[in-house]
Structure 1
Amino acid sequence: MLAKQLGLKEDPNSSSGYEILNNNDVNFWILEFKSEKVYGPFDEDNFVKKRDELGISTSLKLRKIEDIK
């Protein structure tokens, strides 16, 4: 499984501590269920390098969670 994780930041329009997605704080992960190995967190460049090193096909794409529900 390939995963993309977005960080959170304080919402500048809220005084209640509400947080919003931070598109500048992104981590990528590779999860191997059979071996129970987890690789990451990676920035995008190192994610691509590790994906290639592990022989994961480039046809395997990240999808929005809404698209697989």
Structure 2
Amino acid sequence: MPRTVLLGALLGSGIMVGAIFSHLFVLGIEVQGDGGTLFALANITLLSCLALIFLNRDKLPNLLKLKI
């Protein structure tokens, strides 16, 4: 849905930053013998979210407006 792309990308990037930090500082890159697949997928998802945020950056002021 085009109206929620920016919001979803912002939320997704926040979640993926948390996932990457937990891999780096708590879990380790490789978890249960996956060869780092989950870490790689988190990085790909973060890059995709950042690309969507960059492409929709003109909509950011509208997202911050309060509707009363």
Q: Shorter-chain TM-score category?
A: under 0.3
Q: TM-score, normalised by structure 2?
A: 0.25
Which structure ranks higher in relative contact order (CA pairs < 8 Å, sequence separation ≥ 6)?
Answer: 2
Q: TM-score, normalised by structure 1?
A: 0.25
Structure richer in strand, relative to its length = 1
